[in-house]
Structure 1
Amino acid sequence: MSNAYVSALWGADYLLTCANAGFARVNLHGGGWFLHSGSHWTESLDRNTSLVLWNAICESISGFDMYDCKIDQASNLATYFGKRGKQSLLALINKDQKDIVVDLPDPLRQHKVKTEMRLTGPSLNALSGTTLAERKSSVRASVMVPAYSATLLKWQ
């Protein structure tokens, strides 16, 4: 595990894969524990950049039931879908060197995206400049996911 941006991006994908598979706990060697008790992910021990970002992502998916989601099979895009009551989320992780435009499935187009969270970094080996920012979303029918980044969309 490192503080490089690639570790934050890989970790986001890994934690979402584990949540989707119903894992109860994830141990990341050299860093810390992410625990899932019922519907709540938390991070403990180390506070390096990657772990702080992973914790924020875990908090964002806390309490969501995760489901298989296949949207774009032609690119190196990982997709995760979750539901919590009337809320929905869609996590998109672009592991490709080019930007990807994702057309949202019809059922998701029926409601306005409330928030958009984006994980970005200046380069995969960057040790600084990595951001995880949340904002009101303007996404309607499609979303552009920049190369080597993650986007989390939430509907209410």
Structure 2
Amino acid sequence: MRPVLILAGLGLAAGVAVLASAWVYAEAPGTGAVTAKPDKEEIPAPERPPAIMPPAALPDVDIPPIPEVDDDPFKAGKPPVRVGPSGLIAEGKRLFNHEGRLETDPIGRSQFVFDSGDRPMYLLENSWREYLEQRTDFGKKKARWRISGLVTVYGDQNYLLLTKCVEIKAEEENL
């Protein structure tokens, strides 16, 4: 174990000797104290940055002027749906909490008849329509509903995609 320590000690001493040789002791001016200074030969001179070059000249490019626009870009255009006969509700309108009942037409299609007297709407297929049909036995049982949904238009007829259905109980009707 001693030979290893001796070799380690020799390696440390050699490293200190190499570092010490790069320093020269000099006296600080006016104080008489000796300070360590690095040897000028061992320190590389700082490299000068390259001279700043101006950017390359851009080629001449003809840029046409921006044309003037006479039309107002925020002006509303034509509606995307055709205008149907009076009594139709516009495409995309939402109904909230309208009351009525589910009935079937003579060929068996489900439609919602509004208590307000508005034109009945055929119901589009979704889980809410299925729920209404099951609860009312396809309109055979009389029940009143409060519904919400999205109106669509097809062939001069409104259709309703249900988004909410709440049955109005008999106790609530008198309130």
> Is the shorter-chain TM-score for this pair beyond 0.5, marking a shared fold?
no
TM range (shorter): under 0.3
TM-score by length of 1: 0.22
Decide which structure has greater strand share.
1
